[in-house]
Structure 1
């Protein structure tokens, strides 16, 4: 023990003890604050918030600890001071990156938990969820990119190499810029979707003739879940450069149409009464729109359009097929002569003359 105290000064031991005490106190106080905030309804944090931050905080405090000169004196590693500082720098960058990403995810959970995507009128919830999902991925990408850059620049050799490369970029930089033009355009399209929101998560769209819902939005591509359980992968610039249909851009409710082609002697008023009865007897109708109009007339039939409303597009589809079936059955059972048919008129006099 005497040889140990001879090699290590009392000031170093005191300094190291104080540093350990401060780090332990900071970690303990952080855990207490986060746990109490998690129990307070006013500042309710998502469950597992401290668990997400515990490991990166330990690494952060450890990176500060191993940088202390007194620790190296206690461990008799003064000669390895350069490697201790380098290791502590890299560990600090890694821990800070981890803490920032964890905080970003906690903030996202705090914000989106106030919006339920599962409700019927979920337009605002889908808007907020889409923005935070895309922006979260953008920030994570930027944070990791900066962390890698800071880590590499902490080495003097790599820093000099980087400065030399930047100084002599010239034509190479222009070539790389043109090569990365499409990739950068894709990233910018993802950011534009997050801000302008031509599409949102769970939007009903028609893309390339396919009907489906927006299932996932990333910086580079969008996943559309088609009605028959297929997945259509579309690059994000598609929704900026090309026209497409968005059935739920401003609201989830939607109008549905049913077209019937019937004979000229169909009773329109009776058909309107039947449409009203069918709509009143189903829960698929939201009670807002109920219209039957004659929209066109052809030599052999009349076009009738039944217009109805539903709370969302899947319900509107079910309502349309239900109303179409019931109206056809009604015509079959009550007015079979009103079903569209082809008429042929035979002139008897002209037929008799032709026989002669």
Structure 2
């Protein structure tokens, strides 16, 4: 079996084989670097909270997979930090990124969703990703951070390039990072001189009780992380959710009849086909034994969230979409101190996006084959053709 090809093309069947035969398996990533892949639920959950598995690339051996290469001004983010730095930054961010702020965004998110659906018209066909799943998170995260409307298309293009690099354009990802760094430098400078009612202005101003505040690189890196992750994870969660419903019309009808099921359904969509196949890479600070396999210090460990969420030892009939199941304990948004900071916002956006869509279009069906982004790390759609209608009968 060509494991890399299998993981790219059929990840869930590949994970099933690995859970049974090699729950801790040495693989080669798309960049040619080796890593250890962990696939069973109990092992993944324990590893996510294991302080011996560091996110700091300083603990990585030469020749180990380290993930996306970023300039120092963007690298000082929460996905590359351990305590105490991680604890300090997360505490500062939490003062600005509050549940109350997320709750206040629900009405604007719904207004944006309705406006995008208005643009689709009462009936027709469209690429759901391009018309709805992608622009909604872009607008929301850019509104949250206070990014001018005339720069949002640039931001989306840079982010899409980083999510799915084009092998025919080897310099494109580096150019996107440079452009984003330049843009954020300019934006932060503007917010310093003219603060507004937005998250980025709050992050510039936030201090703890001892007067501590974010450093320049920390602020820049954090803005980058919020933009990138806030877009990537949510567009993939919304797109995957709609694709799952199109493949499971009985579940779609259940949600139409009882929209109160949507919050629980969002958790099932995250478990069934979450936006991240893998958690951020980790590096053991000492030799670590996982499922009887010793992983040497400094080598790369990849924890498969998707494999864990499809583990039959944890979830009954895991390959079945069941929006009424108990999804407690799913790992789609992480576990432990690195649990996704933006999880409440991603949940709210997905719930509101689906509610608006199902209310608007009583007819919604596939209009062609979807196209997935090839990635070992993320699970997302590049294209999802749909046919929709605001009336019960489709147009001829």
Instruction: Mark yes or no: TM-score above 0.5.
Output: no
Q: TM-score, normalised by structure 1?
A: 0.19
Higher relative helix content:
1
The answer to which structure, 1 or 2, has the higher relative contact order (CA under 8 A, 6+ apart) is: 2
